[in-house]
Amino acid sequence: MAGKPSLPLVLTGAERRTLQGWASRRRTAQGLAQRARIVLMCAEDRTNTSVAAELGISRDTVGRWRNRFVRHRCAGLSDEPRPGAPRTISDAQVEEVVVRTLEEVPEGATHWSKRELAKRVGISPSSVHRVWRAFGLKPWLVEDFKVSTDPFLIEKVRDVVGLYLDPPRNAAVFSVDEKPQIQALERTAPVLPMVPGTPERRSHDYHRHGTVDLFAALNTATGKVLSAVSAQHTARDFIGFLAEIDRQVEPNLAIHLICDNLSVHKAPTVRRWLVEHPRFALHFTPTYSSWLNQVERWFAELQRRCLARGVFCSVDELTHALENWISHWNENARPFKWTRTADQIIDAIGHYCARISGPGH
């Protein structure tokens, strides 16, 4: 018994190239790639049955996409819009959610919750959440900022960022800082390990077995860190760390150190030591701008991956853990990449100052 005759299928050159691209590109959706292969094979004057057998699909599937292509060409191979539930909130309600979130606060509170706002607008909390997500609104989230009052802010920003983006030749550039009062904390109960469905658990209270201070110098070109652990961070301790940097850096290189404005870095004994070692040059970040010092980014990694979940029963155990982690870091060191220019940073600071200096503040 003869089946229903297939519609004739002839491709233009442009259509063939488009279909071949869909069929061969790895990033093409697999459904679209298969439809493109169906049409290409049908264009070779093959029957629906033979195409279906080779692709491992049903003859009806081949016939459906052959007919869709003949009627609508390449546009017919795309998925048609699927039916869904109609919208239950109006554009006016969406606008009201956005405007109230940005311009109002509920009585007796500092920001909206989705349930409070949903009750006010007359929609469901899940609808409020979807609107917030669509417009990137997070009323529960707040970020702190601090504008530097340093009178030499612009000069210091250009100086430090210049060392990152265009370091001097025949020189080593280090970001230097101290992480003081690192605590050797032992939990009062054993840590319960992670199991499927339950994260690691630890007691909130702890025993403290003392503290140590960590000096760190991050080589901005290689990402490697020179470090020293001490019981405190006095000017004498800082000089000892500078001497260690002096010993480990090749003698024919100048040494540029990016530091914050800690009084230890500017102590008279430190200044005298620097005069005696002229290859050292200190560059200070502006006040309240320690984020300009790349070593702070490294300290964040140290805190997250070594200290935050560590359990240390003694200062010696803490010191050993620090030295091991730093050694492992140096074996796989990669530098942090600084991307923002000094002009971009200064413009951003100026933008903040303009906003907080307006008549509404």
**pLDDT digit string (tens) for 196-240?**
888 888 888 889 999 999 999 999 999 999 999 988 888 898 999
Domain map (residue ranges) of the chain: 13-77, 91-135, 153-193+202-351
Nearest CA among 176, 180, 155 for reference residue 280: 176
What is the DSSP secondary structure assignment for residue 77, as one 8-state letter?
G
DSSP annotation string for 265-300:
GG-HHHHHHHHH-TTEEEEEPPTT-GGGSTHHHHHH
pLDDT at 76: 77
- What integer pLDDT is reported at residue 212 of this predicted model? 92
- Quick one: average pLDDT of 95-115? 91
Phi–psi pair at 282, nearest 5 degrees = -100, 135
Q: Is 131 exposed, middle or buried (0-12, 13-18, 19+ CB in 10 A)?
A: buried
Closest CA to 165 of 220, 120, 242: 220
CA distance 208 to 313: 8
pLDDT band at 45 (very low <50, low <70, confident <90, very high): confident
**Confidence grade of residue 1 (pLDDT, cut at 50, 70, 90):** very low
Q: What is the DSSP string of 31-47?
A: HHHHHHHHHHHHTTT--
Q: Are 188 and 324 in contact (CB under 8 A)?
A: no
> Residue 149 above 70 pLDDT?
yes
Of 34-48, 119-133, 163-177, 245-259, least confident by mean pLDDT is 34-48
Other residues' Cβ atoms within 10 Å of the Cβ of residue 9: 17
- Give the phi and the psi of residue 120 in degrees, each rounded to 5: -70, -40
Question: By the 8 A CB rule, do 89 and 61 touch?
Answer: no
Residue range 153-193+202-351 in CATH 3.30.420.10 = yes
Q: Is the pLDDT of residue 115 over 70?
A: yes
Residue with tokens 């010993």: 247
Structure confidence at residue 2 as a pLDDT band (50, 70, 90):
very low
- What's at 69, amino acid-wise? F
Report the share of the chain in percent with pLDDT over 70: 94
**pLDDT above 60: residue 152:** yes
Q: What is the average pLDDT across 3-10?
A: 66
Q: Specify the pLDDT at position 116.
A: 93
Instruction: Kindly provide the b/e burial profile for residues 335-352, where b requires at least 16 CB atoms within 10 angstroms of the residue's own CB.
Output: eeeeeeebeebeeebeee
Q: Does residue 15 have a pLDDT over 90? A: no
Average pLDDT over residues 29-33: 77
For 251, phi then psi, to 5°, come to -65, -20
Phi, psi of 125 (to 5 degrees): -60, -35
pTM for the full predicted model: 0.69
pLDDT at residue 7 in the model: 67
Q: What is the pLDDT of residue 358?
A: 66
CA gap 360, 358 in Å, rounded: 5
For residues 232-258, give the mean pLDDT.
Answer: 91
pLDDT of residue 144: 83
Average confidence score pLDDT of the chain: 87
- d(C-alpha 226, C-alpha 350), whole Å: 35
pLDDT of residue 278: 92
User: Which pLDDT belongs to residue 258?
Assistant: 94
pLDDT for res 55: 86
pLDDT per position as a tens digit, 295-341: 999 999 999 999 988 889 999 999 999 999 999 999 999 999 999 99
DSSP assigned state of 361? -
Closest-CA residue to 177 (of 225, 231, 248, 247) = 225
Question: pLDDT (tens digit, 9 = 90+) per residue, 49-77?
Answer: 888 888 888 888 888 888 888 888 887 77
